[in-house]
Amino acid sequence: MTRRIRSKIARGSGELAILALLEEQPLYGFEIAKQIGERTGGALTFTLASLYPLLYEMEKRGWVEGHWQANDAGRDRRYYRLTASGRKQLAPLRQEWRAFFQALDSLAGVSHA
């Protein structure tokens, strides 16, 4: 697998993970990375370097929107929330990934079911 394909898969899965997470509630960068790591048992991890360029790209596309707000500890954090456009992206992205895993499963038997 070339680096480019790996990068595209990582990017695509990252976008879906972020959108799915923000569908539940607005979160700031560190929380996004932490929750993705925790909820995937560490299978998906984001560092600062991988998270923010992706978030900024998604913001540029209008899928998410950042705004400064004080967190529970009273510190200013840039929270991201899903926009209407981002919400529209979720269903087709989910469908694409479902199709991708089904295709991979039929080829390589990767499903655990």
Of residues 8 and 98, the one with the C-beta less far from another protein = 8
Stretch that binds another protein, among 16-24, 26-34, 84-92, 102-110 (CB under 8 A): 26-34
What is the nearest approach in angstroms of another protein to the Cβ of residue 48?
A: 4
Checking 102-105 for CB contacts under 8 A at 24+ apart, the result is none
- Please report, in angstroms and rounded to a whole number, the separation of the first and last CA atoms in the chain: 25
* Dihedral pair phi/psi, residue 71, rounded to 5°: -85, -170
Check: CB of residue 79 under 8 Å from CB of residue 107.
Answer: no
What is the nearest approach in angstroms of another protein to the Cβ of residue 76?
A: 6
Residues 33-52 as x/- pattern, contact with another protein by CB under 8 A: xx------------xxx-xx
Furthest-apart CA atoms within the chain: distance in Å: 51
Q: Which residues bind another protein (CB under 8 A)?
A: 28-30, 33-34, 47-49, 51-53, 56-57, 59-60, 67-70, 75-78
